Structure 1
Amino acid sequence: MNAKVQRQPNLFFEIVRVLLNNKLTALLLLIILFSSLSVVQVTHSTRQQLILQDELLQQRDELDLQWRYLVVEEEFYSQHARIEEIAKMQLKMKRPTSKDEQVIVLP
């Protein structure tokens, strides 16, 4: 039984022996290994960049929405009728009549 186990080659050592005997195969194997690791690295980097892009787009949308609310609020507060109403109610102001007008002549 021991004779059969010893007669079977160890797969790892056989692969190493073949690679050492054939330099081109070893070189191609290293290139394939390097290439596959590069693909994994680029894929990971791309996914991180896409996640960052999504976060920035979401932030842009939130800021755009805030800006729209501020524009609407600014338009609301700058309406002439609203300003006139506040002037009449809170400040007790009124439009001057021709009797209230005074002309000042500068020398």
Structure 2
Amino acid sequence: MNRGRVATVLVLLLAITASGVLVVHAKYLTRMSFNQLQEIRGQRDGLDLQWNHLRLEEAALSTDVRVERKARDELGMYLPRVGDVMLIEEADHEFP
């Protein structure tokens, strides 16, 4: 073989080796990215579950019956009796 062919073969072997290394590296990066994606999806699913739980809890805590009971028991509030209500009539004069 002459030197030109040997050099060509060596360059091709080097190119094939570099190409193989780059393919392996790309595959490694793809797997790492996929693992990160799976981890993020797991976090998202956990947050979705927590959000749904909080929405149910909010709905349970904000029912009219529960709010009324808390207002009566903890704050001492009550519905006004007929004698507690005053009717204020509108005056007939204009304000400047």
Fold match (TM-score > 0.5): yes
In our comparison, the structure showing a higher alpha carbon Rg is 1
Report matched runs for 1:18-33 at 5 Å: 20=3, 22=5, 23-33=7-17
User: What's the TM-score once normalised by structure 2's chain length?
Assistant: 0.78
Where does residue 9 of structure 1 map in the other structure?
Answer: none
User: Equivalent pairs: percent with the same residue?
Assistant: 33
Where does residue 65 of structure 2 map in the other structure?
Answer: 81
Does 2:40 match 1:40? no
DSSP 3-state at the match of 2:66: helix
CA displacement, residues 29-59 of structure 1 (integer Å, 9 cap, x when unaligned)? 1111011000110011111101111111111
User: Per-residue deviation at 1:21?
Assistant: 5.3
Q: Which runs of 5+ in 2 are unaligned?
A: 92-96
| Cα distance in 1 between the residues matched to 2:75 and 2:8 | 93
| Cα distance in 2 between the residues matched to 1:74 and 1:106 | 41
Question: Once superposed, which parts of structure 1, at least 4 consecutive aligned residues long, lie more than 6 Å away?
Answer: none
User: What's the TM-score once normalised by structure 1's chain length?
Assistant: 0.71
Report matched runs for 1:1-107 at 5 Å: 20=3, 22=5, 23-105=7-89
Higher mean C-alpha deviation, range 93-102 or range 60-69: 93-102
Q: Which runs of 5+ in 1 are unaligned?
A: 1-17
Count of matched residue positions in the alignment of Structure 1 and Structure 2? 90
| Cα distance in 2 between the residues matched to 1:58 and 1:77 | 29
Higher mean C-alpha deviation, range 85-94 or range 19-28: 19-28
